[in-house]
């Protein structure tokens, strides 16, 4: 039998693109096998190059909260693109988007649009350093804030450990400015701040983790971060690249009622096109060029096509009931999966906040990166491939969030639950 289209495309891809992919996790290294090449998407489904249909819970890693190819987003995009895709001059839609985001997130009085979450986090850190005139930053083990040099550090655990880069090519000196704390563990944060008094510019956190699998903050954890950063004169940066417009229109900061100094946005903000942002109080943001001396720029920043996709998406999300619906659908999936686990006596814990969810096999609690790291990765790989064979496309790695969108109907979720039941029956037998 001749190889399928995905395999043939992959063989061509690996010759010209490192690993055959333009972002590493797409290569399925954590689960094995050859990645499916996607030909198109519609609503809650994607179709691969061999015309196989999959119920999609990757959602392009978060942006597609309305599902694929939403007709209203497409119509708006066509209209905008026909009038020119980028000008390198200010446009009205940028102002509209900025006004809308500031209204939805009161901690953001001003914002700057960029093209990726990496840029947003990198620029927010630069701004925090300039504002505080300090150099060190604190991040949490397992949190991802893009791949800029100083942020690509998780280091070993241990208090006051100086950061070690996660990737060759990052000078140790850069990584040394990054201190690592443990998520959901206030004491590790407190110790770092006490030990590095007057040196820490900012603490950056995913208020709900999505990059070590979904891990919600313990009650009071975010409020403690607010207190400690204020006490030591450091800025609190919420990286809401995933959570912004996902856990609520006002993001995790509204859900948990904690006001950060700076916020990073991305993913849903661009409605499936490259768009991200960072913002905060006018006092801090006014340091940014051209008002102030902190340089930051971008040829395609705030281009009308990406901004239109974002604006249209946010307006659709602002309809009543959006987040109640997303919560109900997320809960339906979680409850269905939980029933399957109980029925087949499979050990796993499901962490969920609204429409973002992760299943950790072999564990009964996950509150930080160390615990997440103990999950059964082999079982996850079997689960991933088992679900794929049954037409359900999940993130191809154990430490990622699966996303439910407004395009997932109850029947779609029930299909995923039935697939899980079928896989689990085989899993316990073998």
What residues are annotated to the active site? 144, 239, 267
Q: Which residue of the chain is nearest ligand PMP when measured via CB?
A: 117
Tokens of 248: 């609520």
- Which phi-psi region, left, alpha or beta, contains residue 391 (left: φ > 0; alpha: ψ -120 to 50)? left
Nearer to ligand PMP, 122 or 341 (CB): 122
**Residues near 229 by beta carbon (within 8 Å), at least 6 away in sequence:** 193, 202, 203, 235, 236, 261
Question: What DSSP state is assigned to residue 61?
Answer: G
Q: Of 56, 94, 141, 206, which lies in the binding site for ligand PMP, with binding defined by CB under 6 A?
A: 206
**Considering the complex, what minimum distance in angstroms separates the CB of residue 219 from ligand PMP?**
21
Which residues are CB-neighbours of 320 under 8 A, at least 6 positions away? Answer: none
- Fill in the per-residue mask, 148 to 177: x = in contact with ligand PMP (CB under 6 A), - = not in contact: ------------------------------
Taking the C-alpha atoms of residue 343 and residue 311, their distance in angstroms, rounded to an integer, is 44
Q: How far is the CB of 213 from ligand PMP (least distance, A)?
A: 12
Residues 100-119 vs ligand PMP: string with x where CB under 6 A? ----------------xxx-
Nearest to 157 by CA among 12, 368, 352: 368
Told to check if 67 binds ligand PMP by CB under 6 A, we report no
Distance, in Å, from the CA atom of 357 to the CA atom of 369, rounded to the nearest integer, reads: 16
Tokens of 122: 């990198």
d(CA 429, CA 141): 37
* Interaction mask 262-291, ligand PMP, x per CB under 6 A: ----x---------x---------------
Q: Which of 47, 61, 191, 385 binds ligand PMP (CB under 6 A)?
A: 61
- How many CA atoms lie less than 13 Å away from 147 in the CB half-sphere? 6
Residue placing its CB nearer to ligand PMP in the complex, 6 or 115 = 115
State the number of CA atoms in the 13 A half-sphere of 263 facing the CB: 32
Among 28, 37, 144, 393, binds ligand PMP (CB under 6 A): 144
Picking from 225, 227, 202, 212, the residue whose alpha carbon sits closest to that of residue 151 is 202
Strands 402-403 and 235-239: unpaired
| 241 touching ligand PMP, by CB under 6 A | yes
Which CB atom, from 145 or from 154, has the smaller least distance to ligand PMP?
145
Among residues 150, 207, 210, 272, the one that binds ligand PMP under rule CB under 6 A: 210
The residue from 145, 329, 352, 382 that contacts ligand PMP (CB under 6 A) is 145
Supply the minimum distance, in Å, between the C-beta of residue 207 and ligand PMP: 10
- Only segment of 234-242, 299-307, 374-382, 420-428 that touches ligand PMP (CB under 6 A): 234-242
Question: Is residue 211 near ligand PMP by the rule CB under 6 A?
Answer: yes
Stretch that binds ligand PMP, among 171-179, 203-211, 339-347, 363-371 (CB under 6 A): 203-211
Q: Which is nearer to ligand PMP, 303 or 379 (CB)?
A: 303
Q: How far apart are CA 67 and CA 80, in angstroms?
A: 20
CB atoms within 10 A of CB 86: 15
CB neighbours of residue 411 within 10 Å:
8
List residues binding ligand PMP (CB under 6 A).
61, 116-118, 121, 144-146, 206, 210-211, 239, 241-242, 266, 276
């Amino acid at each position: 039998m001749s190889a399928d289209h995905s395999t043939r495309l992959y063989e061509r891809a690996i010759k010209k693109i490192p690993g055959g992919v333009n972002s590493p996790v797409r290569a399925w290294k954590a689960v094995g096998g050859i990645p499916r090449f996607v030909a198109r998407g519609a609503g809650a489904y994607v179709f691969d190059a061999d015309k196989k249909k999959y119920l999609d819970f990757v959602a392009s890693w978060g942006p597609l909260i309305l599902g694929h190819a939403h007709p209203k987003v497409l119509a708006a995009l066509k209209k905008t693109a026909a009038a020119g895709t980028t000008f390198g001059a200010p446009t009205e839609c940028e102002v509209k988007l900025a006004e809308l985001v500031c209204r939805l997130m009161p901690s953001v009085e001003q914002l700057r649009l960029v093209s990726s979450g990496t840029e947003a986090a990198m620029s927010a850190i630069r701004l925090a350093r300039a504002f505080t005139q300090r150099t060190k930053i604190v991040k949490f083990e397992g949190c991802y804030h893009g791949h800029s040099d100083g942020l690509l550090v998780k280091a070993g655990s241990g208090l006051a450990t100086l950061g070690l880069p996660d990737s060759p090519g990052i000078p140790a000196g850069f990584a040394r400015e990054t201190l690592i704390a443990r998520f959901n563990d206030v004491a590790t944060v407190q110790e770092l701040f006490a030990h590095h008094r007057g040196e820490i510019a900012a603490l950056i956190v995913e208020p709900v983790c999505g990059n070590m699998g979904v891990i919600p903050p313990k009650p009071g954890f975010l409020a403690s971060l607010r207190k400690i950063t204020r006490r030591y004169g450091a800025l609190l940066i919420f990286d809401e690249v995933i959570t912004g417009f996902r856990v609520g229109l006002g993001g995790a900061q509204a859900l948990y009622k904690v006001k950060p100094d700076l916020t990073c946005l991305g993913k849903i903000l661009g409605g499936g096109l490259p768009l991200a942002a960072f913002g905060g109080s006018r006092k801090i943001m006014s340091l940014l060029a051209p008002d102030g001396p902190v340089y930051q720029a971008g040829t395609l920043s705030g281009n009308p096509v990406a901004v239109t996709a974002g604006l249209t998406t946010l307006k659709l999300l602002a309809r009543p009931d959006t987040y109640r619906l997303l919560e109900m659908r997320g809960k339906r999936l979680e409850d269905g999966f939980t029933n399957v686990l109980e029925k087949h006596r499979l050990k796993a814990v499901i962490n969920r906040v609204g429409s973002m969810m992760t299943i950790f096999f072999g564990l009964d609690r996950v509150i930080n990166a160390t615990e997440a790291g103990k999950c059964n990765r082999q079982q996850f790989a079997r689960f991933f491939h088992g679900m794929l064979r049954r037409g359900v496309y999940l993130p191809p790695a154990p430490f990622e969030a699966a996303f439910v969108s407004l395009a997932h109907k109850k029947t779609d979720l029930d299909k995923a639950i039935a697939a899980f039941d079928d896989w689990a029956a085989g899993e316990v037998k073998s």
